[in-house]
Chains A and B, each alone.
Chain A
């Protein structure tokens, strides 16, 4: 090996170390927020307020080991000497680190005459974990928990279990219906001839980036007249309408590239367009259908605005139920974190299992606004 090649190889090694180091750092930043929520969702609410979630991991921390009772004859208003160290009451109250590394903290007011001693030790993983937070968020019944000050609090649960079911009832049809309608339409645009074909497809392309806010006010008027607000049908149709331009566009791109010879032989055999569509086109378009299905499913499941507007507060989906917890119980982190995780779990599974299809759909649809 020549000298030049060797130095080139070393250089490559250094740059690979640098690249991986930077990427690992970025990935850590990306993961830590979610990790914090996951860890917190298993901790008791009083623990959540006593220490940050990172305290659940091994670290060096102070552990209370003993208490010292102060001689009642001590003048608490002057300097107080404990174990050879002298400080004022306020200083003791805030905690003093002693020469041997222990921390002494005066507990309560001047009359309690009690000092707690903490030693600095290595602490292992927090083992005091619970699944109760999940139970409490899932139920719609009354729940009770202990807050940061040690008080018992009774609240009404937010019924995330019911919201989860509602989300399924919204997402599955709101995924299948637009795909079905779009696949039919894409086939019509790609392979059938009819007046207005080009004009209609131009409209589809134009509608790709139209913000859905433009439709909310009139559609809500229609729904109110039809007494449709709060029904699943209302939100399916809304999601279908808002998802259709992209769905048609993607399906058209795919279906129009199916080789002409494949279809022509079927046409010659006298098959009707409907048979060709169901027997030939649909099976051939499975990859495109799957890509869009994942795309639409994640979009509908994670949607908040459309659900808020058309379903309202009576029928809550996971996003609106979680937003309601944020509004009503903004400091009850044990409920917020477990709720957030319940809302994330299904899309995360779908996403991780089928991400290849998702990426493909995303690439094809990068024109959507």
Chain B
């Protein structure tokens, strides 16, 4: 019986179907139940507090139930079946969601990027011609380049300097918490905070500048300026916000790398009479090179996708537009899905080298 090839094929076939069933049908059923419930919740007008609690319990409980029920069902099956299907209780829902929300959309966006704004007619590479040659897009590319170069340079070098210095202070943790705190603040919140710093009221009798930057400029004998409306310098005033937000991140990661440098290495250099600057450039930097590259890459990708700060501060006006904002404008303001998709594909292509690098690292680690 075991050698019956026909049975083997049937078994293979049925178990494949079973796997698909577990991975797709069960999450789908859960989704259907939750879906109708939420459309009901959205359209009702009861106490908001109640809706929030019901929503949380319903959502979290529903997902938990999904796992319990599928497992219960599969444990009822014969052993052979059970062993084949069980792994898919665990990875099935994750694969279904990743497929729906990231993997398949990548290909759908690729197709959309060759279609017109209504996503019905194929227009060839028109959208890419727009995305790569239009004046608006070229400006966005230039600005993203500014963000990537200066934003990354200042966040990483400032983070490195603070990490090295804080390592020598007794109050290391206090300093670090302060620098790190903006990480908890949303970009929109940070936008308001810095908008207040840059605010400009102009000249006139009895008008006081209430923005810190203009107040400082006036004390130093200058005249107040509408900082955010003067291209190209306004880009740098926006980049400052990102540096303020991200330096905490680079500092923490680099700091732990610095603490990993063997103390004997530094001691030996000091005994040899090297000064601190020499140690910094010839020992610390080469030792943490790998971490420096990782951190810089993370910030680079981050500045490539930057959206919120520009959206809140200037809306992309006054020559501050960036790629992600133009994506938003194309899709949601002008309703052009084709152009938006082409821009999204360009963003994707820009991160492909990092993706390949990650995959290569992963393969070298031999985690599997």
Chain B residues proximal to chain A, CB less than 8 Å: 34-35, 37-39, 41-42, 48-49, 51-52, 55-56, 59-60, 63-64, 67, 71, 75, 84, 86-91, 93-95, 97-98, 100-106, 108-109, 112, 119, 158, 162, 165-166, 168-169, 171, 175, 177-189, 191-197, 199, 205, 208-212, 215, 244, 249, 252-253, 256, 276, 294-295, 298, 301-302, 304-305, 307-308, 311-312, 324, 327-328, 331-332, 337, 340-341, 343-345, 347-348, 351, 354-355, 358-359, 362, 367-368
Contacts and interface: CB of A to CB of B under 8 A. Distances in A.
Given A241-B101, A274-B71, A205 B168 contact: no
Contact of B298 (A200, A222, A368): A368
Contacts of B158: 26
Given A48-B210, A348-B185, A369 B312 contact: no
Nearest to A347: B184
Nearest to A202: B359
A52 B305 CA distance: 34
Nearest to A242: B101
A181 interface: yes
Given A52-B209, A169-B52, A340-B193, A302 B185 contact: yes
Contacts of B37: 233
Given A15-B276, A187-B90, A326 B192 contact: yes
Given A274-B89, A277-B90, A336 B101 contact: no
Contacts of A303: 186
A244 interface: yes
Given A40-B196, A348-B181, A359-B252, A244 B94 contact: yes
A308 to B, nearest CB: 8
A248 B90 CA distance: 12
Given A94-B205, A232-B42, A233-B59, 16 more contacts: A19-B165, A50-B208, A188-B89, A194-B88, A197-B87, A198-B368, A205-B358, A214-B109, A215-B109, A226-B35, A231-B38, A233-B35, A320-B188, A323-B191, A348-B184, A363-B256
A160 to B, nearest CB: 12
B56 A172 contact: yes
Contacts of B312: 304, 323, 326
B257 to A, nearest CB: 10
Contacts, number: 360
B56 A173 contact: yes
Give the interface centre of B56, B189, B327 by most chain A CB atoms within 10 Å.
B189
B340 A30 contact: no
A233 B34 contact: yes
B90 A245 contact: no
Contacts of A238: 101
Contacts of A176: 60
Q: Contact residue range for chain A?
A: 35 or more
B90 A273 contact: yes
A232 B212 contact: no
A192 B86 contact: yes
B223 to A, nearest CB: 15
Q: Which 3 A-B pairs have the closest CB atoms?
A: A241-B101, A188-B90, A302-B186
